[in-house]
Structure 1
Amino acid sequence: MKILITGGAGFIGSAVIRHIINNTDDEVLNIDKLTYAGNLESLKDIDQSARYSFQRADICDKESLEQAFNSFQPDLVMHLAAESHVDRSIDGPSEFITTNIVGTYNLLEVARNYWHALEDSKKAKFNFHHISTDEVYGDLEGTTDLFTETTPYAPSSPYSASKASSDHLVRAWHRTYGFPTIITNCSNNYGPYHFPEKLIPLVILNALDGKPLPIYGKGDQVRDWLYVEDHARALYKVVTEGKVGETYNIGGHNEKQNIEVVKTICQILDELQPQADNVAYEQLITFVKDRPGHDLRYAIDASKIAKDLNWTPVETFNSGIRKTVQWYLDNIDWCRRVQDGSYQRERLGAGE
């Protein structure tokens, strides 16, 4: 099969591409604008494969998308391109509206026109998989409630509102035009090649530099953590085996408070690379003012994808976070190259 992937140089997108090239015979075309969070170094292990190709393009550029579809002739589309950092959406929401809403609209229209012109046999197999987030649901008040595929949308930030909007567009294109779509909503991802503005890589790198580890509020925000390679396996299952018109929630079954996550990282670093003075890394933890509209708890009910597609995560949080910390220790040069002038860890980074 030929799979066109948008945002394939990003954190989750690159994990999906590595999974496909390493574990299937499929061909991949990676379309990515290469914004600050897109990094082709994340694909250096597979970029010489004859089954992988890359095109630098913006999903808001309709002509570039049309050229890509017409030349590659994809059987499936996986749409991951998005602005995704909550803090950045609060500071500057415009790019989130443009990329996540207008860009998704452009992609839907180009893909729909391409699909409409396909011969019947290819048309019947085509699928447009839109990858979204659990943040579209808002937050959970109770300690036992879970997000299901039918939880009403209640986004809190400009980022989650823009992703909710894109989800609605995808569903509307399916219902109005009969365009074959599937949506997935995932919990917080972590793992190798994560851009260093997100909580886990930020904490690891700040700790290694002896810098403060900023935690919003009391650090009692709860997130369900999903190892990115588990997520990549799930996404491939959905795009190849999922039912058109359905939504699947993907979670890691690993609910942790942010403060727990940070302390776990500190303990692993104390073991693997202690500070020169042997002072515990936890001493670097600094509590800072909470961000506006901060959701308290997210948690995914992933029973549908387990039942329908036989997917469950392989990694526990303890196994995944240890692998992640070790990866950053082993790949510190990658981290330093990623940290160019456009990103100086100036934002708090204590959120998702």
Structure 2
Amino acid sequence: MESVVNKTLLTQSFSGKKVFITGHTGFKGTWLSVWLKELGAHIKGYALAPENKQCIFNVTHPYDNAESVIADIRDKERLKTEIVAFQPEFIFHLAAQPLVRRSYEIPSETFAINAIGTAHLLEAVQQVTGKCTVLVITTDKVYENKEQDRLYTEEDILGGYDPYSASKACTELVVRSFRDSFFNTNTYSRHLKAIASVRAGNVIGGGDFSRDRIIPDIITALKTKEEIFVRNPSAVRPWQHVLEPLGGYLLLASKLHKDISYSGAYNFGPEPADHLTVKELVEQAIATWGSGNWKDGSDPGAPHEARLLQLSISKAKQQLNWLPKLNAPQAVQWTIDWYRQPVHEAASFTLNQINRYMAL
């Protein structure tokens, strides 16, 4: 059976459409921008400036060709002005403070960016005059994680131990409130606004250079021939290549734009067999690279991070006909392949991987 995440079907949904992306300078936002540009979309991005020169946004910028607004999601009036001026048909909201450990350093700022920033966006959507489909990207960490050996479904209770996880659970409540109060599915014919939230597992892929993330740490150590410092080697996560959830987002947005019944929350993650420990991920990366060593850097006094987190993707499978295309070894291989490219070839390689993925 042909994959529903393919170039023909996605081009039909997004070619010529106006797409507003918050967080377009980030890791996932850049991949999404390049992908949508390949599909023929007209893109406007809204985000802070990238944090470092080597980030994927800077190396792929000629390929996304988006109108780029460098501004803060907490700037309510600027955000509204840019959205109203653009009048988008689709919005992908990825702007966020995305790091657990950093949320311990800036807790109130994390809540302001993730929860209040989302409220700013959805309030502005009320000023879009035509049909608009909105996807709010949260995280697999929105659930009240009891660290039991079970897969969390979209119906499970929201929670969050650390400020990041709690802020994203708050974001889900913001989405629910705006959907019920202003964009109710029962009155869709009047307001023409459709909203869904998406909860992805831990993403890996080329071009991630953020601090406190495992792939950048691995690549830096491998390239400098140093030991890889691993904080929580026994922690289990639903690892997936970045193109997997992005393909799910595009598929869901295309369906939701045509049918309001797809409004709601969706998990996107790997098959259960690809829920790996950090140790297994690191060892797979070392084997793929061809050399390297790691050491246990666990610190009992470090801020709390969940040790077990697993997602159910049954809803996405059944309702969207979405399936992961890459298993864990393949996801690691695609990631390592990207980092092996010379800087001047990284942009074309990014586009090549997107097209390879759609062809699978």
TM-score range, shorter chain: 0.7 to 0.9
Runs of 5+ in structure 1 lacking a partner?
Answer: 275-280, 336-352
After superposition, where does 1:202-351 map in structure 2 within 5 Å?
Answer: 202-217=217-232, 219-242=233-256, 243-253=261-271, 254-269=274-289, 271=290, 274=291, 281-282=292-293, 284-290=294-300, 291-331=302-342
Spell out, residue by residue over 1:206-261, the C-alpha distance to the aligned partner (whole angstroms, 9 max, x if none). 222133322224x1110011110122111111112134531111012220001111
Q: 1:250 to 1:159 in 2, by over 3 A?
A: same
Runs of 5+ in structure 2 lacking a partner?
Answer: 1-16, 185-193, 347-360
SS at match of 2:40: coil
Q: 1:241 to 1:20 in 2, by over 3 A?
A: same
How far the C-alpha of 1:329 sits from its partner, in A, is: 2.1
Q: Does 1:137 align with 2:143?
A: yes
SS at match of 1:130: strand
Q: In 1, distance between residues paired with 2:321 and 2:174?
A: 28
2:358 match = none
How far the C-alpha of 1:201 sits from its partner, in A, is: 2.0
Q: 1:42 to 1:149 in 2, by over 3 A?
A: farther
Q: Is the 8 A contact 1:16 1:235 kept in 2?
A: no
SS at match of 1:103: helix
Q: Count the aligned residue pairs.
A: 311
- What percent identity do the matched residue pairs reach? 25
Q: Is the 8 A contact 1:47 1:53 kept in 2?
A: no
Report the TM-score, using the length of structure 2 for normalisation: 0.81
1:350 match = none
1:41 match = 58
How far the C-alpha of 1:199 sits from its partner, in A, is: 0.5
Q: Is the 8 A contact 2:101 2:303 kept in 1?
A: no
Match of 1:109 among 123, 128, 131: 123
After superposition, where does 1:21-170 map in structure 2 within 5 Å?
Answer: 21-22=37-38, 24-36=39-51, 40-48=57-65, 52-112=66-126, 114-115=127-128, 118=129, 122=130, 125-143=131-149, 145-170=150-175
When structure 1 is superposed on structure 2, of 238-247 and 186-195 the one drifting more is 238-247
Q: In 2, distance between residues paired with 1:39 and 1:191?
A: 10
Computed over aligned residues only, the root mean square deviation of the Cα atoms, in angstroms, reads 2.1
Counterpart amino acid of residue 99 in structure 1: I
SS at match of 2:64: coil
Spell out, residue by residue over 1:157-205, the C-alpha distance to the aligned partner (whole angstroms, 9 max, x if none). 1111111111110110111122531111110000011124210221121
Q: 1:164 to 1:170 in 2, by over 3 A?
A: same
1:344 match = none
Q: 1:156 to 1:333 in 2, by over 3 A?
A: farther
Counterpart amino acid of residue 248 in structure 1: Y
Q: In 2, distance between residues paired with 1:287 and 1:80?
A: 31
How far the C-alpha of 1:91 sits from its partner, in A, is: 2.1
SS at match of 1:135: helix
Spell out, residue by residue over 1:48-100, the C-alpha distance to the aligned partner (whole angstroms, 9 max, x if none). 4xxx3211121111222122122211012111000001111112223212211
After superposition, where does 1:193-204 map in structure 2 within 5 Å?
Answer: 193-197=207-211, 198-204=213-219
After superposition, where does 1:171-210 map in structure 2 within 5 Å?
Answer: 171-178=176-183, 180-197=194-211, 198-210=213-225
How far the C-alpha of 1:333 sits from its partner, in A, is: 8.2
Q: 1:139 to 1:296 in 2, by over 3 A?
A: farther
Q: Is the 8 A contact 2:235 2:306 kept in 1?
A: yes
